[in-house]
Structure 1
Amino acid sequence: MKEQPQANVVFIIADDHRGDAIGAFGSETVQTPVLDRLAAEGTAFRNMHIFGGLTGALCAPSRACVHTGKSIFRAMIAKDGSGWVHSNTIRPDVCLMPQRLREAGYRTHAVGKWHNDKASFARSFEGGDKLFFYGMSDHNKVPVQDFDPSGAYPQEREYIASGFSTELFTDAAVGFIENYSEERPFFLHLAYTAPHDPWIAPEPYASMYNKSDISLPANFQSRHPFDNGDLTVRDEKLAAIPRDEDEIRGHMAAYYAMISHMDAHIGKVIDALKAKGIYENTIIVYTADHGLAVGQHGLMGKQNVYEHSVRIPFILRGPGMARGRQQVEIASNIDIFPTVAGLCGVEMPAETDGVSLLPVVAGEKRGVRDIVCSAYRDVQRMATDGRWKLIRYYRSRVTNTGTDTLQLFDLHRDPWETEDLSADPACRGEIERLAERLSGWMKAYDDIMAGVPVFPIAATEGAL
C-alpha cells in the first residue's frame, strides 16, 4: 500500500455504538447512510473487540487502549479496579496516538469527550474546542471547556454549552476544518457522547423509529440466567426487571434514533472536508469505545463480554485504501493505534501490545491474530478465535457477587450466543484449547488486579 504521510486524519469515536448497529454491517433496522458510504469507500473490520476494563465505566479504559495501543494492565497507573483513578488515568510515561502524531509534525486538535485524565490530554493536543472531561451528561446541557494552553482544565472553567451534544461537537469540528490554514497535516479527534443514554435524539430523528416496528433480537431474555457479577450496575437499572418486551422495543428505537442522528452529523463533517477540497487526502477513522446490550441476554449495559458489548465498529477510509472490503478477521482495539500510525507513516513507540492491521488492509494477510481476549472487572474473562468463544465467570472476592461457571458458543452457527455448549462432551476439546489460550493471556499480565485467579485448564473440570 502506498503510504500517504501527509494525509490528514479525522478520528471519530462514538460512545456505546454496538458493532452490528450499522446498516452496511447487516442491520435491517438502523439507518446509517453516511457510515454505510464510508464502509463502501474503505475497509471495515467486523470483528474488532475491546480489551476490557476493571470498572463499570468502560468508556475510559477502552479509550485508553485505543490511544495507547496497550492493554489496560499496562496503560493505566494501577490495576486495582476499586478506585476510579485506576480506571481512567493513563501512565505519564505511556505515549498516546495523538501525542505521537503531534511529535511527528501533525497539528492535533480535539473536540468532544475525553474520558481519561487531563494530563494525558494536555500532552496529546495543541488545540481543541468544546472539550468534555466526563463520562456522560444531559445531551442538551453539556459542561464543556475551551482549550487551556496550561493543560490544567480546572472545573471552574466549565460552562454549559448551548445545543445538543452531537450538534455541538459537529459544529466545532466543522469550524476547525473550515478555518484550517496550516501547511502541515492535522489530526482531528472528534469524540461524540452519542449514542450513550439518555436516548433523547432531536426531531425528526426521535420519531424515526416506531417501537411497534422493532423486532426483538434472537437473544432477548427477560433476565440474565445467572449472576454475572454486576447485575446491579447503573446501566442495568435503565429498564425494569424482568425486561418487558414493549419497553425494550422503545429503548431500541430511541437508541437507533441517536445513532441515525449522529450519522447525519458525521455527514456534515465529510461535507466540510469536501468543501475544503481535502476529502480525498484525509484518512477517516470511525470506531466506538464499546457496544451495548439494550435487552440482549436480559442485560441493558456494556458490563459483560457478550458480542453485543465487546464488539465495536472499525471503519477506515482514505487515500490508497481498498474500497468496499469488510474484513471478518478478529482484532483488538489495541491494534487501532499501530494501524493509524502506519497509515500516517509514523513510527510506533518502542513498546506496544497492539499489532498493525495494515497487512490485512493491503490484502497481504487474512489476519494478524488467531485469538482475542477481553476482561471485565474481576468477574468475567473471554477468549475467541472468531468461531468458538469461551466466557469464564468468577465469583468476586471483593464484592461476593458472580458465579463460578463458564459458557461456550459457536459463533458461526449461533452468532446471537443463545446456545451454551459448555456441557456438551463433544466440545471439551474447544474448551480446553481456549482455556489454555486464555490462561496464557492472563499470565502475560502477571500484575493483573490482586485477587483475580488465573484460569487454569483444571478450572473447567467442574463445569463439564
Structure 2
Amino acid sequence: YESWYVGKWHTSGRPTSRGFNDVAGLFSSGGGKFWKEGQRDWKNFPITGYRGWIFQSADGKQKYPEMGVGVTPDISEKFADAAITLLERKPDKPWFCCVNFTAPHDPLFIPPGLGGKYKNEDMPVPENFLPEHPFDHGNFSGRDEALLDWPRTKEAVQDLLRVYYAVIDDMDAQIGRILETLEKTGQLKNTIVIFSSDHGMGCGSHGLRGKQSQYEHTINVPFVIAGPGIEPGSKSDAQIYLRELYPTTCDLVGAEIPGAVTAKSFAPVLRGETDKHHADIFGYFTDTQRMVRTDDGWKLIHYPKAERWQLFDLNTDPHELKNLADDPAMAEKRKSIAAKLAAWQKETGDPILEKTE
C-alpha cells in the first residue's frame, strides 16, 4: 500500500517513521518562533490551543509560516487541498490516506463565507444543560472548562454553538470536496471511506464545556463508514472502540492482522453478519473517572476522588438527567454492573482498583 498522512500530527515521531510513505499539509508543533503573542479567538479569549503549530515538511526541517501559524479560519480547506493533491496521483498500488482535521477543536473562528449563517437565537440549548456540574468531575480546572465562563448561561452556550456549528459546517464542505475528487478520478466505488472524530465538547451539557467526561455527549464519538461490502443506509447499535479500527480495516481489505494486535475487528458488524460486538464497554479519564456501559442500555460511572457514583438507564433517560445510583430499587442493578467494572479494572491492572467499592 501507498500510505499518506494529511493534517494534525499529535503523537511521537514523524508520520514517515510510523508507517506512512508520504505527507501533505502536515500540521504539527515546532513553529514557536513564528508565533505572535496576544492572539485571541472569536470571543476574544486568549488562544491556548495549537500555539506555535505550523505546516511543515515530512521531516520537520522546513516550516511554512505563510500558510498560517496556529489554527486559522480556513485551515480545514488547507487540509482538504493537501488531501486532494495526494488522491489525484491515482497510483497503481492500493493506497491508504489518513486526513486529520483540527476542527472543531478550539481555538474557534468563523470560517470564510459562514459569518451570519448560524444565529444565536436559533441554536438549541442541550436538553441536559446546567449552569454548573454538581461536583468536580475531575477536570474543573482544565483548559477546556476555562473557555466558558462559570456559571454557564444559555446565552453563552448558544453563542458557542453558533461558532462550533459553523466550524463543523466548513469541515463537512471540505470532506465533500475530498469525496468529489474520489468520484471525479474514478476511485470512489473502490474506496472505503471512514469518518470519525475525537470526543465532542460538552458545550453546556451537564454544565461542562470540555470533553473530559463519561457522559454520552462526550464518550460517544461519530462513526460513519461507506464502501464495498457495506450496505448503504445501514445502522448498528453494536458497541465498538475506535482503537479497533486497525484490525477492522485489515479485515475489510483482506490484509493479514499482525499477531501483536489485541484489538478485535468489528468487520462482521459492518458486513451485517452480526449486530453485537462488545457486551460491555469501558471508559476512563485520569484517576478521576471510570465507566461501564452495557449493551442493554445501562451505564455506571464512578468518580473515585469525588467519591460519587452515577447510574443511568439510557433506554428511558438518554440525556442522563436522572441518577439512579442511590435509588434503593436499583441497588441490585448497581451492584451487578459495578462487579463488571471491578472485574475489568482487575483484568487491566487499574492502579485505582483498591479505591473502588
Asked if these proteins are the same fold (TM beyond 0.5), I'd say: yes
| 8 A Cα contact 2:251 2:265, kept in partner | yes
Gaps of 5+ in 1: 1-105, 396-402, 460-464
- Cα gap change, 1:251 to 1:144, in 2 (>3 Å): same
- Whether 1:147 aligns to 2:47 is no
- Cα gap change, 1:455 to 1:414, in 2 (>3 Å): farther
Query: Which AA in structure 2 matches 1:192?
Result: F
Deviations 1:391-420 (A, max 9, x none): 00011xxxxxxx111000011111111110
| 8 A Cα contact 1:113 1:132, kept in partner | yes
Query: Which AA in structure 2 matches 1:215?
Result: P
- 1:247-258 alignment runs, 5 A limit: 247-258=156-167
Residue in structure 2 matched with residue 424 of structure 1 by the alignment: 327
Residue in structure 2 matched with residue 112 of structure 1 by the alignment: 7
- Whether 1:276 aligns to 2:189 is no
Q: Which of 135, 141, 150 lines up with 1:226 in the alignment? A: 135
- 1:54-65 alignment runs, 5 A limit: none
- 1:316-355 alignment runs, 5 A limit: 316-355=225-264
Query: Which AA in structure 2 matches 1:125?
Result: F
Query: Which AA in structure 2 matches 1:173?
Result: A
Residue in structure 1 matched with residue 32 of structure 2 by the alignment: none
Q: How many residues align?
A: 333
Alpha-carbon distance, 1:114 to partner? 1.5
Deviations 1:288-343 (A, max 9, x none): 12222011000000111111111101111111211101111211122222211111
Residue in structure 2 matched with residue 71 of structure 1 by the alignment: none
- Cα gap change, 1:442 to 1:206, in 2 (>3 Å): farther
Supply the distance in 2 between the matched residues of 1:121 and 1:233 (Cα, whole angstroms): 33
| 8 A Cα contact 2:201 2:209, kept in partner | yes
Q: Which of 124, 129, 132 lines up with 2:27 in the alignment? A: 132
Supply the distance in 2 between the matched residues of 1:222 and 1:112 (Cα, whole angstroms): 35
Supply the distance in 2 between the matched residues of 1:272 and 1:295 (Cα, whole angstroms): 37
Alpha-carbon distance, 1:429 to partner? 2.0
Residue in structure 2 matched with residue 405 of structure 1 by the alignment: 308
Residue in structure 1 matched with residue 77 of structure 2 by the alignment: 167
Deviations 1:340-378 (A, max 9, x none): 111121121213342211111122111111000011000
Supply the distance in 2 between the matched residues of 1:432 and 1:365 (Cα, whole angstroms): 29
Residue in structure 2 matched with residue 87 of structure 1 by the alignment: none
Q: TM-score, normalised by structure 2?
A: 0.89
Question: What secondary structure, in the 3-state scheme, does the structure 2 residue paired with 1:320 have?
Answer: coil
Query: Which AA in structure 1 matches 2:243?
Result: I
Supply the distance in 2 between the matched residues of 1:158 and 1:432 (Cα, whole angstroms): 56
Residue in structure 1 matched with residue 43 of structure 2 by the alignment: none
Question: What secondary structure, in the 3-state scheme, does the structure 2 residue paired with 1:428 have?
Answer: helix
| 8 A Cα contact 2:90 2:185, kept in partner | no
Deviations 1:61-118 (A, max 9, x none): xxxxxxxxxxxxxxxxxxxxxxxxxxxxxxxxxxxxxxxxxxxxx1001010121101
Question: What secondary structure, in the 3-state scheme, does the structure 1 residue paired with 2:263 have?
Answer: coil
- Whether 1:439 aligns to 2:337 is no
Residue in structure 2 matched with residue 368 of structure 1 by the alignment: 277
Supply the distance in 1 between the matched residues of 2:310 and 2:224 (Cα, whole angstroms): 30
Gaps of 5+ in 2: 30-47
Residue in structure 1 matched with residue 86 of structure 2 by the alignment: 176
| 8 A Cα contact 1:439 1:455, kept in partner | no
Alpha-carbon distance, 1:454 to partner? 4.5
- The percentage of counterpart residues that share the same residue type is 34
Question: What secondary structure, in the 3-state scheme, does the structure 2 residue paired with 1:234 have?
Answer: coil
| 8 A Cα contact 2:54 2:64, kept in partner | yes
Alpha-carbon distance, 1:159 to partner? 2.7
Alpha-carbon distance, 1:246 to partner? 0.4
Question: What secondary structure, in the 3-state scheme, does the structure 2 residue paired with 1:312 have?
Answer: coil
Question: What secondary structure, in the 3-state scheme, does the structure 1 residue paired with 2:87 have?
Answer: helix
| 8 A Cα contact 1:331 1:369, kept in partner | yes
- Cα gap change, 1:454 to 1:278, in 2 (>3 Å): farther
- Whether 1:217 aligns to 2:120 is no
- The ranges of structure 1 where at least 4 consecutive aligned residues each deviate by more than 6 angstroms after the TM superposition are none
